[in-house]
Amino acid sequence: MIIAVCVFPFYWMVTTSLKTQLVALEAPPVWIFEPTLGNYREALFEDGVLRTLINSLIIAVSTTLLALVLGVPAAFALARFEFRGKKDLWFWFITNRMISPIVLALPFFLIARNLGMLDKHITLILIYLTFNLPIVIWIVTDQFRGIPYDLDEAARLEGASHFTIMRKICLPLAMPGVAVSAIFSFIFSWNELMFGLILTRTDAKTAPAMAVSFMEGYNLPYGKIMATSTLIVIPVLIFALIASKQLVRGLTMGAVK
């Protein structure tokens, strides 16, 4: 039952994507029909969905890497060092995760316009940090805290710097958490729509923004929309299934503190 409810929509998405427009509009819907790959061919090669998928991939991977580079040391500091305002800082990081993207989308659009940064990959890579960095910091801080302090101490006595301790001792032990946060930030970036819609036009257009652009009130090409949806969703689902163990653990770490 659980499996059926979870999986059925995907089944329907894929089958609809293999229907021609007339078949897709048949009422009541048909379950057995002659499948066609026409929608995929049209979407990928005529409408340029392929390029938007590549854009999405570039952006999601880059922003994830950037979030890790910035976030892991910060998480280490939050877990290991004592300093004034630490609580507030942590709170501020986490609050960013909760801000509605529309709050940032408006001013970000205006700033990007003034800086001539509209429709560039880098713009999305940077703005996605607003939700990726908090995820990384949240999960990885937690992971660092779970590592016994004695290990640091021992290394410290041998004269290792904080940076070496982080890199050589704590990071390997925290790898599961780092992986989890990377998976999350990749998935969130891949799926993001609003910034993609507002801040890109053609060159950096992301795949979800592309899928939405087929929604012309004159004529809804359902098969093609579902084909594009399938192309967007399938990679991330495969990725999620492969990483499902880490994902589930990530939920536990991030959520059940």
Partner 1 sequence: MKTLRTLYSSAALASLVATGAIADDHGWSLKEAAAPYAGTTVDVVFLLRPGYEAIEAMLPAFEEETGIKINIIKHPYENALGEQVRDFVANGDLDIALIDLVWIGNFAENDWIMPLSEVQEKFPDIVDPDLDIDDFFPLVLNAFGGWNDTIYGLPFDNYSGLMFYNRCMLEEAGFDGPPETWEELKDVYGPALTKDGKYAFALQSKRNETQSADSFARVLWPFGGSFLDDEFRSNLMSDESQAGLQFRQDLMEYMPDGIVAYDHAETVNGFAQGDVAMITEWSAFYSTVVSPETSTVAECVEIAPEPMGPAGRKPALGGFSLAVASQADDAEQAAAYLFIQWATSKANAREYLERGGVPARQSVYTEDGLEDFKFVPALVESWQDGVPEFRPRFAEWPEITEIVQEWGTKMMLGEVTTEEGAEEIGTRMEEVLDAAGYYSGEKPLAQ
Partner 2 sequence: MRGRVSRKTIFAFIGPAVIGLAAVGIAPLLYALWTSLHFYNLTKLKRVEFIGLENYWNVLTDEVFWQAMGRTFFLLGTALPLQIAFGLGIALVLHQPGLTLIKTLARLSLVLPMATTYAVVGLLGQVMFNQKFGVVNQLLGGADINWIGDPENAFAMIIFWDVWQWTPFVALVLLAGLTMVPGEIEEAARLETKSKWTILRYVQLPFLLPGLVAVLILRTADTLKLFDMVFTLTRGGPGASTEFISLMIQRVGFRGFDQGLASAQAIILLIITIVLAQIYIRVFYKEV
Buried b / exposed e along 207-233 (16+ C-beta atoms within 10 A): bbbbbeebeeeeeebbbbbbbbbbbbb
From 86, 113, 168, 245, residue interacting with partner 1 (rule: CB under 8 A): 113
Of 65-73, 145-153, 184-192, 213-221, which part binds partner 1 (CB under 8 A)? Answer: 213-221
Draw the binding track, 43-82, toward partner 1 (x: CB under 8 A; -: no contact): ----x-----------------------------------
Alpha-carbon distance 74 to 92, whole Å?
13
User: Residue 91 is encoded by which pair of tokens?
Assistant: 């709170």
Indicate which of partner 1, partner 2, none lies near residue 218 (CB less than 5 to 8 Å, by partner kind): partner 1
The residue to which tokens 């908090």 are assigned: 134
| CB of 209 vs partner 1, minimal distance in Å | 10
Query: Is residue 37 at the binding interface for partner 2, with CB under 8 A as the rule?
Result: no
Longest dimension (CA), the chain: 75
Residue 109 within binding range of partner 1, rule CB under 8 A:
yes
As a whole number of angstroms, the distance between CA 220 and CA 211 comes to 12
| Contact residues for 78 (Cβ-Cβ < 8 A; gap 6+) | 86, 89, 90, 137, 141, 144
Stretch 127-186 residues interacting with partner 1 (CB under 8 A): none
Cα three-residue angle 142-96-143, rounded to 5 degrees: 10
Q: Name residues contacting partner 2, limited to 203-232 (CB under 8 A).
A: 208, 211-212, 215, 220, 222, 225-226, 229, 232
Size, binding site for partner 1 by CB under 8 A = 21
What residues make contact with partner 1 under the rule CB under 8 A?
21-22, 25, 47, 109, 113, 116, 118-119, 198, 201-202, 212-220
